[in-house]
Structure 1
Amino acid sequence: MTRIKKRVRKDGKTKTYRVQWCLGGTRTGEWQSETFDQKAEAVEERTRHDNQRDLTRHILPTFGELDLRRSEQPRPADSPQDSHRACRSQAQRKRGELRPGWACTSPASVWSGPISRPA
């Protein structure tokens, strides 16, 4: 189990990121921690790779260039709900029925960075 906690120092301006994990990756392991000045330093390369893979394989093919941060209401043709329905129906066509526990995920809950095609 691993977690990243954002901490603000006493000066109120300086932020650090404390990574905590259980030794050996088990629940019963002793807690370890390390502090970083930037969040990017606190994230392992494997996590970055996995996020990029998920973006390329799952999110971009379904949601394309839809800007999730825009304030105006999206047109019905490109709404996240329609894309979610399309994702579910595509998954059902590929796999038959959706497996229990499998669901299409909103890109906002998976990816916190800007949505753009990888170079």
Structure 2
Amino acid sequence: MARRTGFYLDKRNARFMGVCAGIADYTGFDVLWIRVGVVLATIFGFPFPLIAYLVIGWIADPKPASLYVSEEADPEDRQFWQKTRAAPGRSIREVRSTFRDIDRRLREIEVQYTSSNHRLAREIDELRHS
């Protein structure tokens, strides 16, 4: 099974080996800016960035087809996994916070619905019968 949080070469969006597209997918940055950065780093730091690029392209695994399918189906899912890769602890806190907020809102609804507020009960009954 493919790990969603791992780094993969993105062969579908590749120009040369898929390294820049893979970095863009992993970090969530636009692939254009990653490519510009790699070109500038290669110009100013020749030959080390070029060697690193080739080594990454040779060592990294290509992105599994199953991960392409899930990203095309739900862009929100893709964004979630990019956040998780960047800061796993923060993602967990965000999920917990979201669930606490949902739970709080459900409790407020339950209190309103089960309260002994006769005016509210009458209004609900009127809405049901109309």
TM bracket, shorter-chain basis: under 0.3
Task: Looking at secondary structure, tell me which structure has more strand per residue.
Answer: 1
Tell me which structure has the larger Cα radius of gyration: 2
TM-score, normalised by the number of residues in structure 1: 0.24
TM-score, normalised by the number of residues in structure 2: 0.22
Larger RCO (alpha carbons 8 Å, 6+ apart): 2
